[in-house]
Amino acid sequence: MSKKEVIAIQKALLSKGFNPGPIDGILGPKTRTAIISFKKSVGLRARPYVGPITRGALLNDRNPAPSISTKEPIWLRNARSYLGLREYPGKRNNSKILNWWKLIRAKYRDDETPWCAAFVGGTLEEVFIRSTRSAAARSYDHWGMKIRNPCLGCIVTFWRGSPSSWKGHVGYVVGKDQNGRLMVLGGNQGDSVSIKAFSDSRIVGFYWPPNVKEQPSNKLPCILSDGTISSNEA
């Protein structure tokens, strides 16, 4: 990579919350570590190589990330294309998140309000599947068809804070990690669209879109995680 390209990558890493060290155009140890951390956060192979997929995720809000399976449903492929999208610090707001609020008919016009339901709802609406059109993550407890076991692309809801709280989190099931924990593609996970491991103890339920009869296999792909379990998605 040229010095100019490395500087662009360093600036993008810094804007997404990954410290690359000095913005000097040198692919040094700190920059390589930041690249690895970023790639882990979006479910890519943890190595310092920056190819077209990593470059797209870093430098654009949307990237051509490949599906894990050719049988991924269309809404999951759409959601996966936003891996790496982040809310903006300060007074700026990410226009894509604002558009998701509009798509689900929610009143919010910022990226500071917890937006996991905006991400799920918006990515469903973009492929012409009606969402709950609610800003509440737990609204998906009463959406579509409830299924017993997770499958690729199903929606999963979690309680947040305590099992009796109305607060929650919602995302898409994309696999299990090396420890058997559910891997979830969701918005507002570390202030970004990312793939994180979740504890089974927080699961409320699994849901499949209405009027979509065919379901993928319950055999979920294995996705390596860093072993960290998501604990706060506010």
Taking phi first (over 0 means left), then psi (-120 to 50 degrees means alpha), and beta for anything else, what does residue 11 get? Answer: alpha
Instruction: For tokens 């409830």, name the residue.
Output: 146
Domain count, the chain: 2
For residue 124, the 8-state DSSP code is H
* 174 in the same domain as 124: yes
Question: Which residues of the chain form beta strands (DSSP E)?
Answer: 145-147, 155-159, 168-176, 182-186, 194-198, 203-208
Spatial distance between the Cα atoms of 43 and 58, rounded to a whole number of angstroms: 13
Confirm whether 221 is domain-assigned. no
Residues 158 and 100 in one domain: yes
pLDDT tens over the chain, length 234 residues: 889 889 999 998 988 888 999 999 999 999 999 999 888 776 677 788 887 778 877 876 555 444 455 578 999 999 998 888 888 888 889 889 999 999 999 999 999 999 999 999 999 999 999 999 999 999 999 999 999 999 999 999 999 988 888 899 999 999 999 999 999 999 999 889 999 999 999 999 999 998 887 777 778 989 888 888 998 787
pLDDT at 38: 84
Domain annotation covers residue 148:
yes
Which sign, positive or negative, has the C-alpha torsion 51, 57, 60, 65? Answer: positive
**Ordered DSSP codes for 167-227:** -EEEEEEEEE-TTSPEEEEESSSSSBSEEEEE-GGGEEEEEE-TT------S-PPB----S
Exposure string for 179-214, b = 16+ CB within 10 A, e = fewer: eebbbbbbbbbbbbbbbbbbeeebebbbbbbeeeee
Instruction: Specify if 217 maps to a domain.
Output: no
* Domain match, 49 and 109 both: no
Q: What residues contact residue 173 under an 8 Å CB cut-off, 6+ apart?
A: 150, 151, 152, 153, 154, 155, 156, 182, 183, 184, 185, 206, 220
Q: Cα dist. 89→14, 20, 21, 94 in Å?
A: 12, 18, 19, 9
- Compute the C-alpha angle 30/186/223, nearest 5°: 65
Chain position carrying tokens 């449903």: 73
- The residue range of the domain holding 119 is 74-208
Q: Is 226 part of a structural domain of the chain?
A: no
Together in a domain, 94 and 198? yes
Q: What is the pLDDT of residue 65?
A: 47
Asked whether residue 230 is domain-assigned, the answer is no
| Domain identity same for 99 and 14 | no
Q: Does one domain contain both 78 and 51?
A: no
CATH of the domain at 133: 3.90.1720.10
pTM over 0.75: no
